[in-house]
Amino acid sequence: MSSILLALLVGFALTQAANVVTTVYLHRALAHRALTMSPGLTNVCRTLTWLLTGIRPRQWAAVHRKHHAFTDEPQDPHSPAQLGWLRVQLTNVVLYRRVARDPEQVARHARDLPATRLDRWLFDHALIGLGITTAIVVALMGPIGFLAMGFHFVLYLSLSAAVNAIGHTFGTRPFENSATNLQWLALLTCGEGFHNNHHAAPTSARFALEARQFDPGWWLIRIAQRLRWVSVRHDSPIFATPRTTP
């Protein structure tokens, strides 16, 4: 196998690991409280979020909760209906940071997630976390490791943007909300592509709501549930918006 192909595969694997902690920990557990994690698993996910994404969880939760509170309205941080899907796809990071870097908005939308002492000392420093991961990958792979990390960043940011941009523009809408379902995007984002389902039932830990839909994140949650590492809030989804089709 060529070293370039290996670097791309490593980058893809890092992005998939980042997608798991994004959807299960940041999104379903923290932002929506759809599941509760054991302290041990919380610490593992908190550390992986820092090492793989540099994201501050309370900022991510605040931006995302604001998106749900004002979906596709002018106050939505990243609305394709307001800005066009291509602008959201290409500038999602900029749009995210406008809210994430505003302490007043973070305090308003994520007051249940205050910064801890460990956050201030360690986890709030994204460059340290991402620097440690880069150092490990480069130590194991040599200079081609920089390509793996670069591919990981581009792919992770592109897929996160796609959920906000493509996932509110193209795809099916079985429920009455502006988000869409896309199975291919769900496969690449550990389930986030069922975004129409998610807006219909935001506190559901399961995003796939029909038999033929596959949500990898839900199956990981089911395994963690068997191991008693997580507890799920509802056995059945509680719907915020009705079905558009019978």
**Chain contacts with Zn ion (rule: CB under 5 A):** 179
Instruction: Give the span between the Cα atoms of 103 and 195, in whole angstroms.
Output: 27
By beta-carbon proximity to Zn ion, the closer residue of 74 and 246 is 74
Min CB(29)–Zn ion separation in Å: 11
Min CB(67)–Zn ion separation in Å: 6
Contact 26, 55 (CB under 8 A): yes
By beta-carbon proximity to Zn ion, the closer residue of 145 and 191 is 191
Question: What sign for the dihedral angle of Cα 209, 220, 43, 130?
Answer: negative
CA angle at 72 for the pair 26 and 60, rounded to the nearest 5°: 20
Min CB(101)–Zn ion separation in Å: 20
Min CB(98)–Zn ion separation in Å: 17
By beta-carbon proximity to Zn ion, the closer residue of 133 and 180 is 180
Which residues have a Cβ under 8 Å from the Cβ of 82 and sit 6 or more positions away?
72, 73, 74, 76
Please give the full DSSP string across 196-224, using - where no structure is assigned: HHHHHSTT-S----STT---HHHHHHHHH
By beta-carbon proximity to Zn ion, the closer residue of 93 and 118 is 93
